[in-house]
Amino acid sequence: MPALFDVTSSRAQFPALSLTDSGRNRIYFDNPAGTQVPQQVIDRTVDCLTAKNANLGGYFQTTLEAGDLVDLAHQACADFYNAASASEIVFGQNMTSLTLHMSRCLGRRFRRGDEIVLSRMDHDANVAPWLLLAEDLGLTVRWMDFDTETYEFPDDALARVLSGKTSQVLLTPILMQNLRLQGVMVGSREMFERMTRAFAHHEARPVVDVVFGFDEVPAAFAHLGAGRHFGKIGVAIA
């Protein structure tokens, strides 16, 4: 019989969960990542700020120890994600800042009147940067709506936005500007089958670069990391 998960022991590792207000335990709802952290993270952070807080790339002892700590963090993440090497791991500021920077980079290719598609189901950090960009550049925002009863996207939610039923997307400007339409969907097998039926109905042709066997997952990650693929990389599950 598998051991039961020790909830009490896990909660004890987070000091914030022991805080009380007038004798009542504090309740945390949906908070940003890092709002409550385990004591181990707090201890390592204090140690870093106390003994290893220096610019990287120098030759004195503190900067060397700081560099070792950064290398250790990269290797730990590489182990966690089963990456081929620590060089595949890149740390950014945070999701909000990175999305804002990405929107500004991509915005250099946009022109007034161009359209961007957003979803009201997305985190605001993946919505606000694009709304700001649209306001600055005069872009048109198209919203992909979801079912307010089920909180799911209808099968044709994206197709309605792109097919001209709710907005007009001309193929000629897209082809002339050499633009690509990309997307990522993760869901159940039923959702995947509905997606493939939508592709067939609208005569869309997804591009698959290569399909690996399930026992070749490390090779699939290596192929992805090499950056030479054109289209999606698949993993077949028997």
Quick one: pLDDT at residue 50? 95
Quick one: pLDDT at residue 2? 67
The arithmetic mean of pLDDT across residues 163-175, rounded, is 40
First-to-final CA distance of the chain: 28
DSSP character at residue 154: -
Q: Are 62 and 54 in contact (CB under 8 A)?
A: yes
Q: Are 169 and 162 in contact (CB under 8 A)?
A: yes
Q: How confident is the model at residue 52 (pLDDT cuts 50, 70, 90)?
A: very high
Q: How confident is the model at residue 53 (pLDDT cuts 50, 70, 90)?
A: very high
- CA dihedral for 119, 165, 150, 203, sign (positive or negative): negative
pLDDT tens profile 94-127: 888 988 998 999 899 888 988 888 888 888 888 9
Q: How confident is the model at residue 157 (pLDDT cuts 50, 70, 90)?
A: confident
The C-alpha atoms of residue 61 and residue 150 are separated, in whole angstroms, by 57
Please count the other Cβ atoms lying within 10 Å of the Cβ belonging to residue 222.
15
DSSP character at residue 93: S
pLDDT tens profile 56-96: 999 999 999 999 999 999 999 999 988 888 988 988 888 88
- Residue intervals in the chain for CATH 3.40.640.10: 95-206
Please count the other Cβ atoms lying within 10 Å of the Cβ belonging to residue 144.
19
The C-alpha atoms of residue 234 and residue 159 are separated, in whole angstroms, by 23
Task: List, in sequence order, every residue forming a beta bridge with 234; answer none if it has no partner.
Answer: 211
More confident call, 179 vs 146: 146
In 211-220, which positions are buried (b, 16+ CB within 10 angstroms) versus exposed (e)?
A: ebeeeeeeeb
Supply the pTM of this predicted model: 0.58
The token pair at 168 is: 């007009």
Q: Are 34 and 53 in contact (CB under 8 A)?
A: no
3-class secondary-structure state, position 232: strand
Quick one: pLDDT at residue 184? 52
DSSP character at residue 82: T
Question: Looking at the predicted structure, is the pLDDT value of residue 30 above 70?
Answer: no
The token pair at 80 is: 């966690």
The token pair at 34 is: 């890092």
CATH class in words for 95-206: alpha beta
The C-alpha atoms of residue 53 and residue 65 are separated, in whole angstroms, by 9
Q: How confident is the model at residue 185 (pLDDT cuts 50, 70, 90)?
A: low
Quick one: pLDDT at residue 176? 45
Q: Between helices 39-51 and 61-81, what is the axis angle to 10°?
A: 150
